[in-house]
Amino acid sequence: MSNTFSIQSSAAAVGRRGPLVLAAQDFRPLYGVLLGAFVLTCGIGLIMLQLRYGRLRRRRTVLASSAVIVVTSVLVGMTASHDSGSAAVGEPGVPLLSAARSGAQRVPVLVVPNRPGFNLVGIAADVASAGTDPARLADGRRHGGSERTWVGVTLKAGAQRLYVSADGVSASLDVDTGHRPAAESATLRGADGPECASAALGALLAGSERPWSGCPADRLTTADAGMLRATVRFVAGRGARSVALRADGSPRDRAAATVVREAAAREGLTVVAPGKGAVPLIVVTDWAVAASQVKEVESGRVRAEGTYLAPWLLSPPVLGPAAGQLIPLRYDPRGPAAERYLSALSRRFPGEIPSAAGYEAWQRQLGGDFGPVLLYAAAEVYIPGMPAHQHTGADWLTSGMITPVSGPLTQPTP
């Protein structure tokens, strides 16, 4: 049996209530059946009229005419329903969400930003590759903090075919990038790329039709800066005299590190490097570095009196290790709105993990409000002698909980 299967694509602009994987070609067989039935009905009606007015008198002529009409109807229906290749869908510049299928197998594919130039292609497979030449596919790689395989692909302007290999099974997808190159984002190419794609996915799940406008790591938002200042004040209020800071190299992380240092100076705290004594640790990095940092705390290689995560680090791989994670948030990750996001993610893009970037993009698209800043603690739950409880579908922690451990935090004026 051939190992080639077709891609059934959904427009990136997905209706809020419609399933993601329904596209025009999903209904093509129905179109064929209806068109064939229409031709057959018209043909039978024509024969009846001819019989009524005496135009057809011989039985052989009637049978021959009926056979021609039936055959024509079948051919029309087959032609209309035949899928000669997936048509390009979606709007150029709007990230493209698609689903590869082979029998019962479904492989989600995400293309960001769907513009000429560099694009990040996310494939739900352990081993994956992609490219515009089926004989020369670029190998994908995994990033810490993400469950997806990512491939950087340079797409030309206009309509073209993107070839994908997922766990050794090949597929192709027609895309149309338009003719306007996207603004270059260095963060899309690096470790922050998966977070960027997660934000694009969250907006798509909420029905966004807007073009891609950059990555969360391109800048530090006013809200995130305020939450970092509130975290520093909270730590100072607990009697700490110094804090450790783990920063990274993206524009957002560098700006966040500056905010933390300035806030610490106002609170009379000394900022030190991680591992310089058992002090509160503040992490303002990408997912991969944060996941590595919390594992070091869990193993004891780095001592810390609590690991305070930047608000964009609400991601299962970062929350899972036992490192005393605390995170400031403007929303309850167990609240009704967040649960709807988790449900949409599970229903429309199975296997994908949630993220702060994805949820916030989803919430902004729907026009939802954010509340006061609370500090939440994440912890895996384990009771000796009892089997671990596993949540089904997308969740922040598969066998744990995230609970508030503070009242509303005050945000100092910068």
Q: What one-character-per-residue DSSP string does 201-228 give?
A: HHHHHTT--PPP---GGGS--HHHHHHH
Q: How far apart are CA 252 and CA 9, in angstroms?
A: 34
Give the burial string for 43-60 (b: 16+ CB within 10 Å, else e): beeebeeeeeeeebeeee
Between residues 157 and 36, the one the model is more confident about: 157
Averaged confidence pLDDT in the chain: 80
Query: 46: pLDDT confidence band, cut at 50, 70 and 90?
Result: low
- Please determine, for residue 169, whether its predicted confidence score (pLDDT) is greater than 90: no
Strand (E) or helix (H) holding 330: none
Domain ranges of the chain: 24-81, 222-330+372-404
Q: Measured between alpha carbons, how far is 214 from 187 in angstroms, rounded to an integer? A: 9
pLDDT greater than 50 at residue 147: yes
pLDDT band of residue 37 (cuts 50, 70, 90) is low
Taking the C-alpha atoms of residue 100 and residue 241, their distance in angstroms, rounded to an integer, is 54
User: Does the domain formed by 222-330+372-404 have CATH 3.40.50.2300?
Assistant: yes
pLDDT, one tens digit per residue, over 97-131 is: 886 665 566 678 899 999 999 999 999 888 999 99
Q: What is the pLDDT of residues 193-250, one digit of tens each?
A: 999 999 999 999 999 999 988 999 999 999 999 999 999 999 999 999 999 999 988 9
Pull the structure tokens for residue 157: 């302007």
pLDDT tens sequence across 345-380: 988 877 788 999 999 999 999 998 899 999 999 987
Name the amino acid, one letter, at 198: S
How far apart are the C-alpha atoms of 165 and 335, rounded to whole Å? 38
How many C-beta atoms lie closer than 10 Å to residue 321's C-beta? 20
Q: What are phi and psi of 187, to 5 degrees?
A: -70, -30
Contact 113, 182 (CB under 8 A): yes
Give the pLDDT confidence of 49-101 residue by residue, as tens digits.
Answer: 555 555 555 555 544 454 545 445 544 454 444 433 344 456 888 999 886 66
Question: Where does the pLDDT of residue 171 fall: very low under 50, low under 70, confident under 90, or very high at 90 and above?
Answer: confident
Tell me the residue ranges of DSSP E strands in 20-144: 96-102, 105-112, 117-123, 128-131, 138-139, 141-142
